[in-house]
Structure 1
Amino acid sequence: MSLARWWRSRLAWAVMAVALVAALAIGATSTPGAESSAQRVNQLASQIRCPGCTDLSAAESSAPSAVAVRQFITNQVKAGRSDRAIDSFLVSRYGPGILLRPPPDGIGAALWL
């Protein structure tokens, strides 16, 4: 193996090592907050009935009322509200029929059985 080829080989390994360290550093310092917030909004919206639809969740529908519910949920998640607080507000505004699944406590627990 020639000296030039040996140096190119070493340089290639060094570049790969630096790229690996950089990727690990970026991955370790990035916060999953934005992604987990989006997932939480989608999860909540999938459990809420679209106010203007019959059988669709707010996550599935493109109706203006579903868009408004998703925007409300997004704002509440950003404000740090709990899932239960968000659900409670929507139930107080639209009634218990807004929930696609009954709550797992009180009368809702009996409906699960």
Structure 2
Amino acid sequence: MRRLALVAALLLPVAGHAGEAAPVTDDPVLEERVMRLSHDLRCLVCQNQSIAESNAPLAVDLRNQVREQFQAGKDEAAVVDYLVARYGDFVLYLPPFKGTTLLLWLGPGLLLVAGAGWLAWRLRSRVRETPHALSAEEHARAAALLDGTAKPSRESRL
């Protein structure tokens, strides 16, 4: 039983690294190109990770496709074009500026300008507002509250 526990304890760290991406080829230059481009491509499963960071089966598959395209002699632009043709612009972390991505590119700026415009309008309208003048009764009540001589009202007891 102790031997079984010892073997399990020794294999546990190895099992934790089983999902990590290991180089598939012996060519370090090719692997560097694959990983550099993989950092610019979005994992379609995880969506908030690049295919270089993700261990999802689709991300591993995409890295293999990138590797195969590079081994076939294609350059980075051709590989990106191949993946975009197959999976759409969503596979890119930095999608191109075109009609379908116009709101994506201009939306944050438009929201910023609209928010600044609303804030400026609101601040100008506050300046034009006249302050509410207190009546003589309200002045007396405020003075009594400040002196501590005011009787508790029905609203203050609730």
Could you list the per-position Cα deviations for residues 77-112 of structure 1 after superposition, in whole angstroms to 9, with x for gaps in the alignment?
111111011101111111101101234xx648xx4x
1:74 and 2:77 are equivalent in the alignment: no
Task: Describe the SS at the equivalent of 1:86.
Answer: helix
C-alpha separation in 2, matches of 1:101 and 1:35? 26
Structure 1 or 2, whichever has the larger Rg, is: 2
Structure 1, unmatched stretches of 5+, are: 1-32
Q: Which residue of 1 aligns with 2:111?
A: none
Shift of 1:57: 0.4
Which gives a bigger RCO, structure 1 or 2 (Cα 8 Å, sep 6+)?
1
Shift of 1:36: 1.5
Over aligned residue pairs, what C-alpha RMSD do you find? Answer: 2.4
TM-score (norm 2): 0.44
Q: Which residue of 2 aligns with 1:84?
A: 77
Aligned pair partner of 1:59 in 52, 71, 76:
52
Count matched residues: 77
C-alpha separation in 1, matches of 2:33 and 2:88? 22
Q: How does 1:2-17 map to 2 (within 5 A)?
A: none
What amino acid sits opposite 2:36 in the alignment? Answer: Q
Q: Which residue of 1 aligns with 2:38?
A: 45
What amino acid sits opposite 1:57 in the alignment? Answer: S
Which of structure 1's runs of 4+ aligned residues deviate more than 2 A? none
1:94 and 2:52 are equivalent in the alignment: no
Q: Which residue of 1 aligns with 2:19?
A: none
Percent identity, aligned pairs only, is 36
